[in-house]
Amino acid sequence: MTSDGQASPRIHMSSPDVGELEESFLVDAVRSGWIAPLGPHVDGFESELANRCGRGHAVALSSGTAALHLALLQLGARPGTSVIVPTMTFAATANAVVYTGASPVFVDCDPFSGNLDPELLGFAMSTLSAEGQTIAAVMTVDLLGKCADHDAIEALCDRHGVPVLEDAAESLGSVDRGRPAGSFGAAAALSFNGNKIMTTSGGGALLTDDADFAARARYLSTQARQPVEFYEHTEVGYNYRMSNLLAALGRAQLQRLDEMLARRREHRERYARTFERVEGVEVFQRDGDESDNCWLTSLLVDPKRAGWERQDLSKELAAGNIESRRLWKPMHLQPVFREARAFISGAAERLFATGLTLPSGSALDESDVERIDCIIGNFLDRVS
Ligand SMILES: *Cc1c(COP(=O)(O)O)cnc(C)c1O
């Protein structure tokens, strides 16, 4: 409650950051008459995205999940094949595999980055190959914006002759060893869902350097229509294309991407300062985060050393109408995937047990930041 008795507005972890520029792009799209489905903003958005991510081609789609689905289909995922999926991810990564009829095989993560553990991946690939299984693809996830160890993963996958699909839904704007997120593997997927680093209210894109791959994704995303004057179909297609209105929103967001990244980094730095001297607490993925997009900032709380648990802080924030969340619940622990094969070290389960994600969005204003700092400060005074 504020002093005038009003409940404080809810502070979310990552809400859309949309203002005048987005409004002007949307108005332009409406006035141009190009409402749906396609139009000049889609073409513009695609070339700007490809540029930003250092890729030859981008295909704007209705969601990141759609981008993953189309990429997997083209990489040959189908019934009877396996696709390796990091267990530490959002369900969309694994769901897209199931849509193709292939079987997801989960592999655990590195304990520090939370990203696919290359050593365990090597073991999983050797094991599956020795059993005569076909691995259609290895999916990497750049968890919370931190790029996976693509050098090690690509070397392994090259040796096994298996393509890599980068799920870059969380990592737009990150750079790893000079290479932008979205530029790794045979193809990559971006998401513009409302909580992501930038948004088109809902949307995604498929990135690739292969012109045929991009052309085929466009074709499958528009119901696989043959280029004739009547409706002729020789394959099953999908309705996965992004509309011109949403692409207009995306172009405005992309212009503001660096400013939004800088704002998220400020939150990361602030949390790092707040918890710098707090025993048993570390900022997740902080090591070497200079070129990460800082999509979400999470804490890892070791209850034995800290003397408190992540849920103690989470409850305190909730009482102040501030959202915080646990890290992704690993896929091998999800009831829906309980039959799936998994190569597990325990690292993802430990991150799930100790991790807490704090409000990190670029739309947080100074009064939001003050409210958060005040609650965390009071909490730390009390427990220390
Ligand atoms: C958000 C997200 C997706 C799905 O993107 P949508 O645009 O919501 O379909 C896929 N993978 C990861 C890792 C995500 O965080």
> pLDDT, tens digit, for every residue of 82-121?
999 999 999 999 999 999 999 999 999 999 999 999 999 9
pLDDT per residue as tens digits for the range 124-146: 999 999 999 999 999 999 999 99
CA dihedral over 40, 46, 49, 50, signed as positive or negative: negative
| Ligand 1 center–CA 377 separation, angstroms | 33
Q: How confident is the model at residue 4 (pLDDT cuts 50, 70, 90)?
A: low
Question: Which candidate in 196, 304, 315, 329 is catalytic?
Answer: 196
CA 249 – CA 38 distance, rounded (Å)? 14
Q: Is the pLDDT of residue 36 over 80?
A: no
Q: Is 146 a catalytic residue?
A: no
Q: Is the CB of 330 under 6 A from ligand 1?
A: no
Share of the chain above pLDDT 90, in %: 93
Lowest pLDDT segment from 165-169, 177-181, 231-235, 368-372? 231-235
For residues 77 and 102, the answer to whether their CB atoms sit within 8 Å is yes
CA–centroid distance, 315 to ligand 1, in Å, is 27
Residue 203 C-alpha to ligand 1 middle, in angstroms?
Answer: 10
63 lines ligand 1 (CB under 6 A): yes
Test site for ligand 1: of 88, 142, 191, most ligand atoms within 8 A of the Cβ: 191
Q: How confident is the model at residue 384 (pLDDT cuts 50, 70, 90)?
A: confident
Q: Residue ranges per domain, the chain?
A: 20-257, 258-328+343-383
Name the class of domain 20-257: alpha beta
String of DSSP letters for 79-118: TTEEEEEESSS-HHHHHHHHHHTPEEEEE-B-TTT-SB-H
Residue 21 CA to ligand 1 centre (angstroms): 25
Atom of ligand 1 nearest to the CA of 191: 7
Please state the separation of Cα 185 from the chain's center in Å: 16
Tell me the C-alpha distance between 372 and 323, whole Å.
Answer: 10
371 CB-contact burial (10 Å; exposed 0-12 / middle 13-18 / buried 19+): buried
Average pLDDT of span 329-348? 98
2 has pLDDT over 60: no
Is residue 248 pLDDT above 60, yes or no?
Answer: yes
**204 CA: nearest ligand 1 atom:** 7
What pLDDT sits at residue 79? Answer: 98
What average pLDDT does range 27-47 have in this prediction?
91
CATH number given to 258-328+343-383? 3.90.1150.10
Atom of ligand 1 nearest to the CA of 141: 13
- Residue 155 clears pLDDT 70, i.e. is over it: yes
Contact 344, 87 (CB under 8 A): yes
Residue 348 DSSP SS3: helix
pLDDT category, 33, cuts 50, 70, 90?
A: confident
pLDDT at position 38: 83
Ligand 1: centre distance to CA 110 (Å): 21
The partner residues of 222 in beta bridges, in order of sequence, read 239
Those residues whose C-beta lies under 8 Å from the C-beta of residue 25, and which sit 6 or more positions away, are 41, 248, 249, 251, 252
Burial class of residue 292 in the structure, from the number of CB atoms within 10 Å of its CB (0-12 exposed, 13-18 middle, 19+ buried):
buried
Q: Is 167 in the pocket of ligand 1 (CB under 6 A)?
A: yes
Ligand 1 in contact with 183 (CB < 6 A)? no
State which ligand 1 atom lies nearest to the alpha carbon of 192: 7
Q: How far is the CA of 14 from the centre of ligand 1 (A)?
A: 14
User: Over the stretch 177-186, which tens digit does the pLDDT of each residue have?
Assistant: 999 999 999 9
Quick one: pLDDT at residue 37?
Answer: 77
* Ligand 1 contact, 171 CB (< 6 A): no
What mean pLDDT value characterizes the chain?
96
DSSP SS3 for 12: coil
User: Which residue, judged by its Cα, is nearest atom 10 of ligand 1?
Assistant: 92
pLDDT tier, 80 (very low <50, low <70, confident <90, very high otherwise): very high
Give the Cα separation of 156 and 119 in Å (integer). 9
pLDDT (tens digit per residue) in 300-334: 999 999 999 999 999 999 999 999 999 999 999 99
Q: Which pLDDT band, with edges at 50, 70 and 90, does 286 fall under?
A: very high
In the predicted structure, residue 165 carries a pLDDT above the cut 60: yes
The 10s digit of each residue's pLDDT in 188-209 is 999 999 999 999 999 999 999 9
92 lines ligand 1 (CB under 6 A): yes
Provide mean pLDDT across the span 250-276. 98
